[in-house]
Amino acid sequence: MIIYTVRQGDTLYRIAGRYGVSVQSLQDDNMLPDPARLVPGQTIVIIKPQISYTTRAGDTLDSIARRFGVSLNTLWRNNPVLRGLDEITVGQELKIKLPLPTGGAVQVNGYAYPFIDRDVLRQTLPYLTYLSIFTYGYDESGTLIPIEDEEVISIAREYGVAPVLHLSSLNTEGKFSTAQVTRLLNDDAMQQTLIRSLIETLQQKGYVGVDVDFEYVGRQGADAYVRFVRRLQEALSPLGYFVWVALAPKVRADQEGVLYEGHPYRALGEAADAALLMTYEWGYTYGPAMAVSPLNQVRRVLDYAVTEIPPAKLLLGVPNYGYDWTLPYVAGESRARSLGNVEAVILARDRGADIMYDEVAQAPNFNYFLRGEDGVAREHEVWFEDARSMQAMLRLMPEYGLRGMAIWNIMRYFPQLYLVLNSEYDIMRATM
């Protein structure tokens, strides 16, 4: 795999000729919305297969997989143009085998809402080990609030991806409630009801485990939170289910703030089977313009986390989005707009902006001006992800010996994330 950064005057034709690949392959792999209009600073991922095959009359994807001794998921991962479907055309060139990945085997979890576009879901599932469906809350008795997740679970299982039940402090009003968490952690009967409700749902719907995401627990609730996670794990483990826990991105044990104080890393790491590090949202909706996951900050979290929790228990949180800020930033007033990574490149193209790359944060960014309804041109700053930033972040997994990664979230398809992931790592399959 080669990651090429577009320069002024580049065309897809010239890039293809320079690296000995077809224009169609570059366009298909990177899913370029307008291959005739490249943006200086934009990344193009170049994949050169070891074995390729041109389809003939009578071929099916299944027959090709059998002929070469590979799985359908492998063909889908190697050929994003297939979009996770069985449809092929005569004369289509397929990548059968890529160079062996050098990053080792990893588990990949993706978060999705039940209303995810089904085409995006099918396109993404070949790259996943687990699918966490966001989210189950619970009422004041501790009973789970039902969601319509049956179809998404069924599709995930078609691709051999294990569904994970995501549990949060969502209440009956659809809001995340600190009071709801506090009530649960101090009510034994409510916990018993919740655990029974979880077991019933796990069994009925075919989930393989629970991902617990209680945020803003606070210092006073920390010990009770650990006891609840341990109690849940002890109830589910004999039945064959696992328990994960999501952790705020701490850099030291005594870090202050309600988001951090309720997540004692060592104790929660011991209570759960695995832990997700929420290593994103440094750049966020209400904050100043900056990278969502600056690599230097992510490293600080990992440096601390591995001293408290065995690395083989840790999943690295990976963002799949960016933000567009209107400048100047005003605390308490400014509100950034979330946007997808493909959308960010289109925005740079349409606004005539060159894409820059911050070597410290390891993240792409650009600025542009937009005239508002009042006639005033205001500057905007955009931070997002590209193949370079994803490669830098994903390479932290073998460096720190992590179990794998968790993508927040997979609602928008980001081809370069999956091109990098598939080229450098062997994606593990789950036992179901």
Annotated catalytic sites, by residue? 215
Distance CA 400, CA 152 (A): 33
Q: Where are the alpha helices (DSSP H) in 278-321?
A: 295-308
Distance CA 339, CA 321 (A): 6
Residues facing residue 405 across a β-bridge: 108, 316
Q: What is the dihedral of CA 17, 18, 21, 26, to 10 degrees?
A: -90
Distance CA 178, CA 214 (A): 8
Residue type for 221, please?
Answer: G
Q: Which residues contact 17 (CB under 8 A, 6 or more apart)?
A: none
Report yes or no: 53 and 61 within 8 Å, Cβ to Cβ: no
Q: Where are the alpha helices (DSSP H) in 112-254?
A: 118-124, 150-158, 178-185, 188-205, 222-236
> Which run of H or E residues covers position 260?
helix 258-261
Distance CA 62, CA 325 (A): 47
Report yes or no: 43 and 384 within 8 Å, Cβ to Cβ: no
Measured in Å, how far apart are the chain's first and last C-alpha atoms?
32
3-state secondary structure of 316: strand
Distance CA 371, CA 24 (A): 37
Distance CA 12, CA 340 (A): 23
Distance CA 261, CA 222 (A): 7
DSSP character string of 336-403: PEEE-HHHHHHHHHHHTPPPEEETTTTEEEEEEEEE-TTS-EEEEEEE---HHHHHHHHTHHHHHT--
Distance CA 321, CA 105 (A): 25
Residues facing residue 108 across a β-bridge: 405
Please, what is the Cα angle at 402 between 104 and 344, to 5 degrees?
85
